[in-house]
């Protein structure tokens, strides 16, 4: 690539990539006097509009009759590493390069100026008229410190009007509070923990990998409660000491209040937080701080991968096995895999942590591609919970009930001992299906091939796929029978009803993503659970991971078979992971924990491996069966979803595609067949699956195929999903 800036003098041109669903960069002429380099953000005409794009390369052509670049945009240029990442992700996922660029260039158009928060300071003489409330407010402001208005009002137990009246009287002055720092400097020695021997050994290796300042991947595998966070914090501390930046990717950053507290306890300040709820100017400021290198540690959701770090010295992917790392809409990339790619591009070490690593990562570790560090014991000599199965064929709850006698007894004992219990059921809402007992009518989503889920809190029937909501009627819409509607199967809300009947004295709470009041409330309730304010938590996968509930000593899995019955090649792995994670919530505090898993199939290999307490047993069996079937990571997979407004159009296009699949040796194309959600948001979906050996270049094959295949017409769309996570 020619690195001399191109300017208009020689009639130079540049190729500009536009952050829209386009694959190619467009050539523009460079106006005289403007010197451009790759990475520069520019304004260009596109059709009748002006748009922002990035100079991707310098053209060799003459500007002749090309449209001209309008000008440079006042934004830091994309650095070569980030451009390389965009190229790489686009190549790997087959997403249009412009769509990937949009991830890196995401600017929220927000022209509203950031309103400064106001504080008050005691400056003047006492007011002419003194009241008890005023006296309290003045006393609370003693010392002349600048205090937030609301905080002062609260501290003095007075209304805001009292504060305002003292401002009017000249007793208080009003000043803008300093803006929240987006990137305070963490102190690597703020509060160093005393590590156990095993922890110290692992930390030492991680620190060495940061010191080496070279690409390399380490899997930090440690049982729940082994202190993985404390251990990788040592690597982060080392990066801070070296003046370099760290990125900590987390699957669900919005709920990680505990993580942030721990980070602050360790480093004295909060990390820079990047997720979709950080908006507007704050987002812009953080982005600038990341680009300048001022933000030393960023904790973020998967999109943090595309931020413009100035000097990335470490990437941590926390809970690397989490399905949330896979983005399903738009550019379908796996943030863990792309983190490894970014590490390679930046020549930085990558740490993957998990108590239940993905099979891909385990195999990479076993083959020596990744360094494998293990923390086999819980911190502080705590034992892993003892696990037991409840055979539902023998211990059968009565009709309309889901908790077995054995589990009821265990919860009762726990209540008596004043310890907390968690009931885990990975089903949101009240009941997964509602039907009419008289005519058999079932409530289905009008837009999707899915049942509507009864949500009693919201008094609505909801589609979990498209968000369609309707009121739960009083009579059957088909036969008009009244009081004939019946809930089928349990969701967490219904389970909570059962718990309330069984244990009316217990303080129970339902925690799922439907929690009223949104993320903030949910965060508070998770803290309340941690501090022991509830006896029984009824929760979905939301409570299964990451959280530390010291008083939790019993975990009851209501339906351990849920998830094992799907035809998904990852069903066993996912179930193993979620069950090991959720049972790992028990016994993290002073007292030992136990878990009971209700099942109809106690002989299932996944459950047997889980009960044995030896994860190697599961990994060995699962590795063997994947290898025998040629499934990832031993073979490669991609899904092609063909969707259209009608089933006929979708099927027609998929069949035409299949006819020119031309699969060479090592490639098989399966389908077309109805996709698992045959209708989603009103679109009919048909799927083709491509399975190849590892030797085949899957991306090259897919590109060539789509190129020779028919072009989608009318409402037809083809979405490619490389390495699909679920089927």
Please enumerate, by residue number, every residue annotated as part of a binding site for Zn(2+).
Answer: 436, 439, 445, 448, 463, 466, 476, 479
Nearer to Zn ion, 449 or 715 (CB): 449
Nearer to ligand ADP, 229 or 434 (CB): 229
DSSP element (H, E) containing 433: strand 433-436
Q: How far is the CB of 687 from Zn ion (least distance, A)?
A: 18
CA distances from 149 to 116, 121, 130, 157, 506 (A): 12, 9, 19, 12, 40
| Residue in 339, 334, 305, 330 with CA at minimum distance from that of residue 322 | 334
3-state SS record for 687-705: EEEEEEECCCCHHHHHHHH
Nearer to Zn ion, 317 or 463 (CB): 463
| Residue in 493, 497, 489, 397 with CA at minimum distance from that of residue 435 | 489
Query: Are the C-beta atoms of residues 698 and 723 closer than 8 Å to each other?
Result: no
Query: Are the C-beta atoms of residues 249 and 259 closer than 8 Å to each other?
Result: no
Residue 468's binding partner, choosing from ligand ADP, Zn ion, none, with beta-carbon cut-off 5 to 8 A by kind?
A: Zn ion
Cα 601 to Cα 604: distance, rounded to the nearest angstrom = 6
Residue 195's binding partner, choosing from ligand ADP, Zn ion, none, with beta-carbon cut-off 5 to 8 A by kind?
A: ligand ADP
Nearer to Zn ion, 444 or 726 (CB): 444
Please count the residues of the chain.
727
Residue 232's binding partner, choosing from ligand ADP, Zn ion, none, with beta-carbon cut-off 5 to 8 A by kind?
A: none
- Residue numbers belonging to the annotated binding site: 436, 439, 445, 448, 463, 466, 476, 479
Nearer to ligand ADP, 76 or 193 (CB): 193
Place of tokens 């009971």: 596
Secondary structure letter of residue 8 according to DSSP: G
Residue 610's binding partner, choosing from ligand ADP, Zn ion, none, with beta-carbon cut-off 5 to 8 A by kind?
A: none
Nearer to ligand ADP, 252 or 391 (CB): 252
Q: How far is the CB of 222 from ligand ADP (least distance, A)?
A: 5
Residue 379's binding partner, choosing from Zn ion, ligand ADP, none, with beta-carbon cut-off 5 to 8 A by kind?
A: ligand ADP
3-state SS record for 214-241: CCEEEEEEECCCCCHHHHHHHHHHHHHH
Beta-ladder partners of 644:
684
Residue 465's binding partner, choosing from Zn ion, ligand ADP, none, with beta-carbon cut-off 5 to 8 A by kind?
A: Zn ion
Query: Are the C-beta atoms of residues 572 and 727 closer than 8 Å to each other?
Result: no
Residue 447's binding partner, choosing from Zn ion, ligand ADP, none, with beta-carbon cut-off 5 to 8 A by kind?
A: Zn ion
Residue 97's binding partner, choosing from ligand ADP, Zn ion, none, with beta-carbon cut-off 5 to 8 A by kind?
A: none
Footprint on this chain of ligand ADP (rule: CB under 6 A) = 193-196, 199, 222, 224-230, 379, 548
Place of tokens 């599961």: 618
Q: How far is the CB of 241 from ligand ADP (least distance, A)?
A: 19
Residue 381: CB partners within 8 Å, gap ≥ 6?
A: none
The DSSP result for 364-420, as a single string, is HHHTTSSEEEEE-S-GGGPPPPEEEEEETTTSPPPTT----HHHHHHHHHHHHTT-E
Q: Is 210 helix (H, G, I), strand (E, B) or coil?
A: helix
Cα 502 to Cα 509: distance, rounded to the nearest angstrom = 14
Q: How far is the CB of 261 from ligand ADP (least distance, A)?
A: 10
Nearer to ligand ADP, 194 or 628 (CB): 194
Q: How far is the CB of 380 from ligand ADP (least distance, A)?
A: 7
Q: How far is the CB of 470 from Zn ion (least distance, A)?
A: 11
Footprint on this chain of Zn ion (rule: CB under 5 A) = 445, 447-448, 463, 465-466, 468
Nearer to ligand ADP, 319 or 498 (CB): 319
Q: How far is the CB of 548 from ligand ADP (least distance, A)?
A: 5
Residue 227's binding partner, choosing from ligand ADP, Zn ion, none, with beta-carbon cut-off 5 to 8 A by kind?
A: ligand ADP
**Sign of the alpha-carbon torsion through 425, 427, 429, 433:** negative
Q: How far is the CB of 462 from Zn ion (least distance, A)?
A: 9
Residue 553's binding partner, choosing from Zn ion, ligand ADP, none, with beta-carbon cut-off 5 to 8 A by kind?
A: none
CA distances from 247 to 281, 298, 470, 513, 528 (A): 21, 5, 42, 26, 29
Cα 632 to Cα 689: distance, rounded to the nearest angstrom = 13
Q: List the Cα angle 224/227/228 in 5-degree steps.
A: 85
| Residue in 485, 500, 494, 483 with CA at minimum distance from that of residue 401 | 494
Nearer to ligand ADP, 195 or 324 (CB): 195
Residue 225's binding partner, choosing from Zn ion, ligand ADP, none, with beta-carbon cut-off 5 to 8 A by kind?
A: ligand ADP
Q: How far is the CB of 193 from ligand ADP (least distance, A)?
A: 4
Cα 267 to Cα 491: distance, rounded to the nearest angstrom = 41
- Output the six-digit token pair for 494: 């219904």
Q: How far is the CB of 79 from Zn ion (least distance, A)?
A: 42
Secondary structure letter of residue 493 according to DSSP: H
Nearer to ligand ADP, 99 or 224 (CB): 224
Residue 257's binding partner, choosing from Zn ion, ligand ADP, none, with beta-carbon cut-off 5 to 8 A by kind?
A: none
What are the phi and psi torsion angles at 531 (to 5°)?
-90, 10
Q: How far is the CB of 544 from ligand ADP (least distance, A)?
A: 12
| Residue in 651, 722, 640 with CA at minimum distance from that of residue 688 | 640
Q: How far is the CB of 348 from ligand ADP (least distance, A)?
A: 22
Nearer to Zn ion, 228 or 464 (CB): 464
Nearer to Zn ion, 558 or 641 (CB): 641
| C-beta neighbour count of 262 within 10 angstroms | 15
Q: Is 538 helix (H, G, I), strand (E, B) or coil?
A: strand
Residue showing the smallest CB distance to ligand ADP in the complex: 227
What are the phi and psi torsion angles at 86 (to 5°)?
-60, -45
């Amino acid at each position: 690539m020619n690195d001399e800036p191109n300017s208009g003098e020689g009639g130079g041109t540049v190729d500009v990539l536009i952050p829209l669903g386009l694959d190619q960069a467009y050539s523009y002429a460079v106006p005289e006097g403007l010197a451009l380099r790759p990475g520069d953000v520019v304004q260009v005409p596109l059709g009748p509009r002006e748009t922002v794009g990035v100079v991707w390369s310098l053209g060799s052509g003459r500007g002749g009759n090309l449209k001209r670049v309008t000008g440079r945009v006042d934004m830091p240029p994309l650095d070569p590493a980030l451009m390389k990442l965009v190229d790489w992700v686009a190549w790997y996922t087959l997403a249009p390069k412009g769509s990937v660029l949009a991830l890196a260039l995401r600017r929220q158009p927000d022209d509203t100026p950031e309103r400064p928060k106001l504080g008050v300071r005691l400056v003047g003489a006492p007011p002419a008229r003194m009241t008890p409330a005023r006296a309290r407010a003045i006393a609370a402001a003693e010392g002349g410190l600048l205090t937030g208005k609301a905080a002062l009002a609260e501290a003095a137990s007075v209304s805001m009007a009292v504060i305002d009246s003292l401002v009017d009287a000249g007793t208080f002055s009003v000043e803008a509070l300093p803006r929240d720092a987006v990137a305070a400097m963490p102190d690597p020695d703020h509060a160093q923990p005393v590590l156990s021997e095993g922890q110290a050994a692992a930390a030492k290796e991680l620190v060495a990998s940061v010191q080496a300042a070279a690409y390399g991947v380490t899997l930090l595998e440690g049982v729940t409660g082994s202190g993985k966070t404390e251990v990788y914090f040592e690597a982060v501390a080392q990066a801070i000491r070296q003046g370099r930046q760290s990125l900590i990717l987390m699957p669900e950053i919005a709920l990680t209040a505990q993580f942030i507290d721990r980070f602050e306890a360790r480093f004295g300040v909060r990390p820079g937080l990047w997720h979709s709820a950080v908006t507007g100017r704050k987002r812009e400021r953080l982005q600038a701080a990341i680009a300048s290198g001022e933000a030393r540690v960023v904790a973020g959701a998967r999109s943090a991968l595309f931020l413009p770090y100035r000097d990335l010295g470490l990437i941590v992917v926390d809970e690397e096995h989490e399905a949330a790392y896979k983005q399903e809409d738009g550019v379908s990339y796996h943030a863990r895999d792309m983190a490894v790619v970014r590490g390679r591009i930046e020549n930085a070490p990558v740490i993957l942590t998990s108590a239940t690593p993905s099979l891909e990562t385990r195999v990479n570790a076993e083959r020596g591609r990744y360094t494998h560090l293990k923390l086999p014991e819980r911190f502080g000599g705590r034992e892993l919970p003892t696990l037991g199965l409840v055979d539902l064929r023998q211990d059968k709850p009565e009709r309309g009930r889901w908790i077995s006698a054995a589990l009821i007894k265990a919860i009762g004992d726990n209540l008596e001992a004043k310890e907390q219990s968690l009931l885990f059921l990975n089903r949101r809402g009240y009941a997964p299906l509602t039907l009419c007992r008289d005519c058999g009518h079932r409530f289905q989503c009008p837009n999707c091939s899915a049942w509507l889920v009864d949500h009693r809190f919201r008094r609505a029937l909801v589609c979990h796929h498209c968000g369609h909501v309707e009121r739960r009627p009083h009579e059957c819409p088909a036969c008009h029978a009244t009081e004939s509607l019946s809930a089928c199967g349990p969701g967490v809300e219904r389970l909570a009803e059962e718990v309330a009947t069984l244990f009316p004295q217990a303080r129970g709470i339902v925690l799922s993503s439907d929690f009223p009041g949104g993320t903030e409330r949910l965060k508070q309730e998770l803290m309340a659970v941690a501090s022991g304010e509830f006896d029984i938590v009824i929760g979905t996968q939301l409570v299964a991971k990451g959280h530390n509930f010291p008083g939790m000593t019993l975990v009851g899995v209501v339906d351990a078979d849920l998830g094992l019955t799907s035809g998904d090649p990852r069903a066993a792995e996912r179930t193993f992971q979620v069950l090991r994670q959720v049972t790992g919530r028990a016994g993290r505090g002073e007292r030992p924990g136990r878990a009971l898993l209700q099942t109809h199939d106690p002989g299932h290999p996944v459950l047997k491996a889980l009960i044995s307490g030896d994860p190697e047993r599961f990994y060995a069996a699962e590795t063997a069966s994947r290898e025998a079937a040629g499934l990832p990571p031993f073979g490669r997979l991609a899904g092609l979803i063909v969707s259209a407004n009608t089933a006929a159009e979708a099927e027609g296009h998929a069949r035409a595609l299949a006819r020119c699949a031309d699969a060479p040796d090592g490639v098989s194309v399966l389908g077309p067949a109805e996709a698992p959600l045959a209708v989603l948001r009103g679109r009919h979906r048909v799927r083709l699956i491509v399975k190849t050996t590892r030797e085949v270049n899957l991306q090259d094959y897919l590109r060539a195929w789509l190129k020779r295949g028919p072009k989608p017409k009318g409402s037809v769309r083809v979405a490619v999903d490389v390495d699909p996570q679920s089927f």
